[in-house]
Amino acid sequence: MSVFSVVFALLLHEGTHYLTARAFGLNPKIRMKWTGAEVSYVNKTENNLANLAVSASAPLLMIGVGLCVPASFEWLVFKIICLINLLNLTPLTNDGEVFLLSLRNLWRMKHAKK
């Protein structure tokens, strides 16, 4: 169950990034690496809202799933992996860096117009 939990969590996380990027028309690519997978895209328009949505979608979904998964021994590894995604909203990760940079840019754009 542990290996399945890790693989399923990875696919759920990266799949969410991929689908969110596609929803914004960003033409994402999934690359498999020996450390896992990653989703990349070229954001030619520098759409901060799209960057925010893509970077936050997977961690927020994973946290929500982690909160809903039963706290039983069988689901423990999956639950921990899902809840650890809270760290993906901090600048310690690529998701967190893009998330905070996009928030900052949106904040600046909102207050620069006044």
What CA–CA distance (Å, rounded) separates 55 from 25? Answer: 15
Kindly report the average pLDDT of the chain as a whole number. 89
What CA–CA distance (Å, rounded) separates 27 from 58? 17
> pLDDT tens across 85-108, in order?
999 999 999 899 999 999 999 999
> 32 by DSSP, 3-state: which?
strand
CA distance 106 to 49: 7
Q: How confident is the model at residue 113 (pLDDT cuts 50, 70, 90)?
A: low
pLDDT at 13 over 90: yes
Q: Where are the domains of the chain?
A: 2-112
Confidence category of residue 1, pLDDT binned at 50, 70, 90? low
The pTM assigned to this predicted structure is 0.86
Compute the C-alpha angle 8/11/16, nearest 5°: 125
- List, in order, residues 6 or more apart from 21 with CB less than 8 Å away: 27, 28, 39, 41, 50, 54
